[in-house]
Amino acid sequence: MIRARRSRIVATIGPASGSPEMIVKLAKAGADVFRLNFSHGAHETHAAVYAAIRAAEAVVGRPLGILADLQGPKLRVGKFADGPVQLKPGQAFRFDSDPTPGDETRVHLPHPEILTAMKPGATLLLDDGKLRMTVTEAGPGYAETKVVNGGKLSERKGVAVPDVIIPMSPLTPKDREDLAFALRLGVDWIALSFVQAPEDMAELRRIVEGRAAVLAKIEKPQALQTLGPILDLCDGVMVARGDLGVEMAPEEVPVAQKEILRAARERGIPVIVATQMLESMTSSPTPTRAEASDVANAVYEGADAVMLSAESAAGDYPEESVAMMNRIIERVERDPRWPELMQAEQPHVDEDADVLVVAAAGAAKSGSTKCLVAFTTTGATARRLARERPLQPVLALSPKIEAVRRMALVWGVEPRVSAQPDSLEVVTTDAAARALELDLAKPGERILIVAGTPFGAPGAANLLRLAHAPFPVRKR
């Protein structure tokens, strides 16, 4: 089942989509990667969904990726003695370490890390940014604030601090349990929430030890300050626009999205654009025109993948949401100007390992080349090719199913399991036969093969070969 598009679709699984039958429908509608949201659901539920996704691969005839999204710290205020309080602009309000239920003047903040990090002038955002306070005084165990934007504040509402780095690990005890479970299951990607600094990704990499690809969710402004070093420790990245939009001004989020996309493309790592992409389809069979444009713009920007959240997890139209996203991507990629945009921003190549890959992508611009075939052990060669955004499909062949499933997230790559070749002749015949089998090339059409020698040893691509899809042998 070859997809007539380059950008990929990530679909979140939830109560509306967790059955084996619906997972197959979503895969047939166009989902390439399935997201397990560990903010919700028991381990037993995730295990059943995992098994259903693996079973769906055989039905649709292509690999499906699975992404485990860790919850991360949830920062919330404490309780109030007499229910919600009404805060007015200009009034003083105190956050402290006293667990006594709060009132109109103060509330417990059960996160000493926040109080430790507070300083005069810092901003606190509550209830998804609806209430805003400025710190006027801070000391051991307390922070005095002035209400800037008031409103009703209920207990257990979320707290965000956009101005400072909070000295805490993004991996809570719950996350560590969920991570260990996800790795035992065999998920392909791990997404880390609450990333603030490169050290956060380094900690995750140490725990994962290569058993899955790791992905940073950029949802805090602090991460943008060290974006490059963070991405250098990532296999992928997610633009988590919902949480990012709480802590940043709305007009800053599109600029941040473009910055993250550009930085990820430069490094050749896949980037997912997420949150509220087709949100109205949670309860409507069609999206708004603005939502369709939002998805289209991410595709025009060269995003590897766009993601559905509540639309596929808890909405009334999960299958229709995936199908709609598929249609939007396909329509954008039929735009005569789309190829120009994909080629407009070529990343700078400064590694000898990438020179051959760039040469292959350049050679493929010839109209007579129908597809590129990358023999890869880890998927690195295919990802480097995808970074160049070739307009021909990239068939990635690997003997490792783990690498193949991780590549389901990568722009323009059709990953398949293939036996490890042991000679140049086998490389050529296998590449041509698979391209013909998957209808990526017709008999006699040219393909470009990229591989590395010695065969089977991870390393840089050092072989570029022209071949032609074979004509069928006629029986006499």
pLDDT higher for 76 or 3? Answer: 76
Asked if residue 345 is part of any domain, the answer here is no
Which residues 6+ apart lie within 8 Å of 108 measured at CB?
77, 78, 79, 95, 96, 97, 98, 99, 100, 101, 102
Asked if residue 208 is part of any domain, the answer here is yes
Asked if 201 and 135 sit in the same domain, the reply is no
φ and ψ of 36, to 5 deg: -100, 115
Asked if 329 and 196 sit in the same domain, the reply is yes
Asked if 173 and 277 sit in the same domain, the reply is yes
- Can 206 be counted among the known catalytic residues? no
pLDDT digits (tens, 9 = 90+) for 437-456: 999 999 999 999 998 877 77
Q: 417-420: long-range contacts (C-beta < 8 A, 24 or more apart)?
A: 417/63, 418/375, 420/455, 420/456
Asked if 222 and 301 sit in the same domain, the reply is yes
Confidence (pLDDT) at 302: 95
Confidence (pLDDT) at 119: 94
Asked if 202 and 245 sit in the same domain, the reply is yes
Q: Active-site residue among 5, 6, 8, 35?
A: 35
- The answer to whether 34 and 11 are in contact (CB under 8 A) is yes
Range of the domain at 433: 352-468
Q: How many domains does the chain have?
A: 3
Asked if 297 and 206 sit in the same domain, the reply is yes
pLDDT digits (tens, 9 = 90+) for 244-294: 989 998 999 999 999 999 999 999 999 999 999 999 999 999 999 999 999
Which residues sit opposite 13 in a β-bridge? 36
Exposure letters 143-175 (e unless 16+ CB within 10 A, then b): bbbebeebbebebebebbbbbbebebbbbbeeb
pLDDT digits (tens, 9 = 90+) for 42-76: 999 999 999 999 999 999 999 999 999 999 999 99
- Can 76 be counted among the known catalytic residues? yes
Asked if residue 80 is part of any domain, the answer here is no
Domain boundary residue, one of 160, 186, 204: 160
Asked if residue 79 is part of any domain, the answer here is no
pLDDT higher for 216 or 465? Answer: 216
Domain boundary residue, one of 334, 367, 397: 334
- Can 275 be counted among the known catalytic residues? yes
Asked if 286 and 307 sit in the same domain, the reply is yes
Asked if 190 and 321 sit in the same domain, the reply is yes
CATH number at residue 370: 3.40.1380.20
Domain boundary residue, one of 160, 192, 218: 160
Asked if residue 151 is part of any domain, the answer here is yes
Asked if 63 and 189 sit in the same domain, the reply is yes
Residue 39: which pLDDT band, with cuts at 50, 70 and 90? very high
CATH number at residue 149: 2.40.33.10
CATH number at residue 283: 3.20.20.60
Asked if 154 and 176 sit in the same domain, the reply is no
- Can 35 be counted among the known catalytic residues? yes
Has residue 461 got a pLDDT over 80?
Answer: no
Asked if 62 and 201 sit in the same domain, the reply is yes
Q: Active-site residue among 3, 25, 74, 76?
A: 76
Asked if 183 and 314 sit in the same domain, the reply is yes
Asked if residue 278 is part of any domain, the answer here is yes
Asked if residue 56 is part of any domain, the answer here is yes
Q: Active-site residue among 106, 217, 220, 434?
A: 217
pLDDT higher for 368 or 304? Answer: 304
Asked if residue 140 is part of any domain, the answer here is yes
Mean pLDDT of the chain: 93
Rg (CA), the chain: 24
